Amino acid sequence: MASDFGLPANEHPETGFGVAAGPTLAEVGEGETLKRIFPRLPHADAELLGPGDDSAVVAAPDGRFVVTTDLMVHGPDFRSAWSSAHDLGVKAAMTNLADVAAMGARPTALVVALAAPLDTPVDVLLGIADGLRDGCALAAPGCGVVGGDLSASPALMIAVTAFGDLEGRAPVTRSGARPSDQLAVAGDLGRAGAGLWLLFRDGVASDGAGGERVPDAGRAAAVRDAHPELVAAQLAPVVPIALGVPAAVGGATAMLDVSDGLVLDARRLAVASGCSVQLDPAAIELEARALRELDPVVGDRAASFVLAGGEDHALLAAFPPGPLPEGFRRLGTVLDRSPASDVLVGDTPYAELGGWDPYDGWNGAAG
């Protein structure tokens, strides 16, 4: 089965987290493992009935709730040679919180379904719980875990479902942008993509057998030491979740989080809204320069990372003309639908798709 994902035989994907090997799930058992996990999970202010019953009960003060779910699977979505267990918890929280924030909602609660091989050290699960806690504390204080499920599986996977409160406002969808709106972003652009590029370039070692390059924990640690911001942006991103509500209050007409790259997600917003989007070359160059100044290793690739690098989960929004809410930077303009292209950079149609499709497969050695 592993070969479907190009997982090399010399990587033990279940226990490669670089934690001290300790008692495993099989040794500790489900009940005791849950007992150790629960006290580490963050409490949700909106929790009316917490874990331990058939279901939890969560407050939804305005009579509605926002819900999103996102699944991370070892192999296609993360590598244990690169990510710590804590990284995984942070990223699993953050990607879901970003989807809630992108509706203009305040995140209230998470439920977490986790499946792991029986030989996974319990410490890996505790590390994930700590990451969920720290991710919530950093980006969405008051949001916590109200329930979950734990199961056995051949590969580690985490399915997080996140909830949010619209506080009486209409949800900000992808489809409300109008010509003459400004396109703006809050959060990083290009860092996570540059981090992934570095990990693929320098965080791999030659497999003795076939000579194929495979993820290597030691080399990845060296990459992280040399390029901490870029690697952290990829493995444990921190997104300005708290800017989702001010964006909605500030009149955002459309919003989504940049999970698959600026151009691809700008195109989604444009298509859903029946418009086109014109990115301002000067604004893109400013973003690229900031990325180069953060870490010169990106060099000439900076603009490509800004335009096509995925997984930053920045909030991309359209606003009517006028001052932008604090934390948002102007990137361009919404235009009438152009037959030439959904996305233009200046006057040039941007043809490359960019972005990340899990069904495009996975090549552990590809750069």
CA-CA distance, 92 to 68, in Å (whole number)? 12
Please say whether the dihedral angle defined by the alpha carbons of residues 300, 302, 305 and 311, taken in this order, is positive or negative.
positive
Q: Which residue, 67 or 365, has its beta carbon nearer to a second copy?
A: 67
Neighbour order of strands in the sheet with 348-349: 254-258, 314-319, 182-186, 329-336, 275-279, 343-345, 348-349
- Span interacting with a second copy, options 134-142, 145-153, 203-211, 345-353, rule CB under 8 A: 145-153
- Span interacting with a second copy, options 177-185, 208-216, 254-262, 286-294, rule CB under 8 A: 254-262
Cα–Cα distances in angstroms (integers) from residue 172 to residues 89, 100, 110, 191, 251, in the given order? 27, 10, 20, 26, 9
Q: Which residue, 105 or 183, has its beta carbon nearer to a second copy?
A: 105
| # chain residues binding a second copy, by CB under 8 A | 84
- Binding residue ranges for ATP: 148-149, 174, 259
Q: Per rule CB under 8 A, is residue 348 in the interface with a second copy?
A: no
Residue 72 CB neighbour total at 10 angstroms:
19
SS (H, E, C) 152-187: ECCCCEEEEEEEEECCCCCCCCCCCCCCCCEEEEEC
Q: Which of residues 21, 152, 340, 353 is near a second copy by CB under 8 A?
A: 152
Q: Per rule CB under 8 A, is residue 73 in the interface with a second copy?
A: yes
Binding residues among 107-136 for a second copy as defined by CB under 8 A: 109, 111-115, 117-119
Q: Per rule CB under 8 A, is residue 174 in the interface with a second copy?
A: yes
Q: Which residue, 163 or 305, has its beta carbon nearer to a second copy?
A: 163
* Beta carbon of residue 60, minimum distance to a second copy (angstroms, whole number): 4
Binding residues among 23-62 for a second copy as defined by CB under 8 A: 25-26, 29-31, 33, 48-49, 52-62
CA nearest neighbour of 246 among 138, 106, 143: 106
